[in-house]
Amino acid sequence: MRIAHLTTVHARTDTRIFRKMCRSLTEAGHDVTLYVADGRGDDSINGVRIVDVGQPSSRAGRALLTTTRMWWRALRSRPDILHFHDPELIPGGIVARLGGSRVVYDIHEYYSAHLRETAALPRAASALLAAVYGLLERCASLCLNACIVVSPHMQRVLPLRRSVVVENRVRLEEFRCGSLPSAARPAMVCYVGVLSEVRRVDSMVAAAAMAGARIALAGKWYPQSYREQVARVPGWKAVEEAGQIDRVEMQQMFDRSRAGLLIVDLAGDEVHSSSNKLFEYMAAGLPVIASDLHFAREVIERHRCGLLVSPPTDPQALAAAIGWILAHPEEADRMGQAGRRAVEDEYSWNREQDRLLTLYDELCRDGGTS
């Protein structure tokens, strides 16, 4: 099949879109093109053709001009499947479907909840945007061939006509268990991901200092002003800041760490969201210290691969968990090994890849009439 993935928001090497979906499809023998809008030019990476439609100058420009340009370029290539990943691409997806194309919308997050709770807009404006997005999502569900969601809970609560669950899981070949036992590693924990207030980086930094540990942070600050706020937290001197890192550098960070942190402050349906980070830590053989949210509790309690803390805003609870990991290296190693086994047995990407390929096969067999 000739398959086009479209994103105006995500990086060209995004974990879910590029590393998992596009690479897996290419490895399965399909012709895959990823359309992006980052201004870095066209390329070919791991057999995936990258087409760059240019970096937008503003959010409004991205939502209007960039999305139009991306759909026009993608439709000209006449792929068998068009698979898009961002809410602002919904109108173009509906137009493409009405024109006879097979179109799939990949819903990564509970976007309506994000819009309702954003602090960047007045409450009335955020509520209006959430309602508009909800309407668009419903139209997409009725019109498009299928929607993909990232968790069974999302499938249950969103009003989607046809949906398929493709969860965030790990490509095992990208991670290995470190060769050093916990006792031989420095007293350090790590976090890799978006560095934002909802990820409670301030609590992580304060807690690491209370526990007498260093903390390695990797990722992009959002917004950048939040870094200035966290830098004033007592314990900032214990931070090792790595910036945005690749898979090799991530593995090196995991090899030096005693535990991986996943401290997030979520509410409503979002507590059921899964996380790439949870399974990446587990695949690397790290015990996980996570907020007591539904998705993390379900995995950690079942496999005994880490510790849960609550609430995420309390650095003392997190410090106690970090301190326990540092004081019990043999138990920490057993947790890490249990997490790795769980990923090998249940949480690898292979099963999710099969679901994606099955959906594509069904859409092509029924001629795009679903």
pLDDT in tens, 302-337: 999 999 999 988 999 999 999 999 999 999 999 999
The structural domains of the chain, with segments of one domain joined by +, span 2-169+349-365, 172-345
Across the range 237-246, mean pLDDT stands at 94
Tell the CATH topology of 2-169+349-365: Rossmann fold (3.40.50)
Confidence of residue 157 (pLDDT cuts 50, 70, 90): confident
Mean model confidence pLDDT for the chain: 92
Confidence of residue 267 (pLDDT cuts 50, 70, 90): low
The model's pLDDT over 200-226, given as tens digits with 9 standing for 90+, comes to 999 999 999 999 999 999 999 989 999
Give me the pLDDT at residue 312, please: 87
Q: What is the fold, at CATH topology level, of the domain defined by 172-345?
A: Rossmann fold (3.40.50)
For residue 269, the model assigns a pLDDT of 59
Q: Which residues contact 318 (CB under 8 A, 6 or more apart)?
A: 203, 204, 207, 261, 263, 289, 309, 312
Q: In this model, does residue 340 exceed pLDDT 70?
A: yes
Instruction: Give residue-wise pLDDT tens across range 77-121.
Output: 999 999 999 999 999 999 999 999 999 999 998 887 767 766 566
Q: Residue 368 — very low, low, confident or very high, per pLDDT cuts 50/70/90?
A: low
- Output the pLDDT for position 120: 65
- pLDDT for the residue 92: 96
Q: What is the pLDDT of residue 365?
A: 86
The 3-state secondary structure of 135-164 reads HHHHHHHHHCCEEEECCHHHHHHCCCCCEE
User: What's the pLDDT tens digit per position in 34-81?
Assistant: 999 999 999 999 999 999 999 998 888 888 899 999 999 999 999 999
- The 3-state secondary structure of the chain, one letter per residue: CEEEEECCCCCCCCHHHHHHHHHHHHHCCCEEEEEECCCCCCEEECCEEEEECCCCCCHHHHHHHHHHHHHHHHHHCCCCEEEECCHHHHHHHHHHHHCCCCEEEEECCCHHHHHHHCCCCCHHHHHHHHHHHHHHHHHHHHHCCEEEECCHHHHHHCCCCCEEECCCCECHHHCCCCCCCHHHCCCEEEEECCECHHHCHHHHHHHHHHCCCEEEEECCECCHHHHHHHCCCCCHHHEEEEECCCHHHHHHHHHHCCEEEECCCCCHHHHHCCCHHHHHHHHCCCCEEEECCHHHHHHHHHHCCEEEECCCCCHHHHHHHHHHHHHCHHHHHHHHHHHHHHHHHCCEHHHHHHHHHHHHHHHHHCCCCC
**pTM tops 0.85:** yes
Can 2-169+349-365 and 172-345 be said to share one CATH topology? Answer: yes
Lowest mean pLDDT among 14-18, 66-70, 110-114, 275-279: 110-114
Going from the C-alpha of 327 to that of each of 33, 58, 309, 330, 333, the distances in angstroms are 49, 50, 17, 9, 12
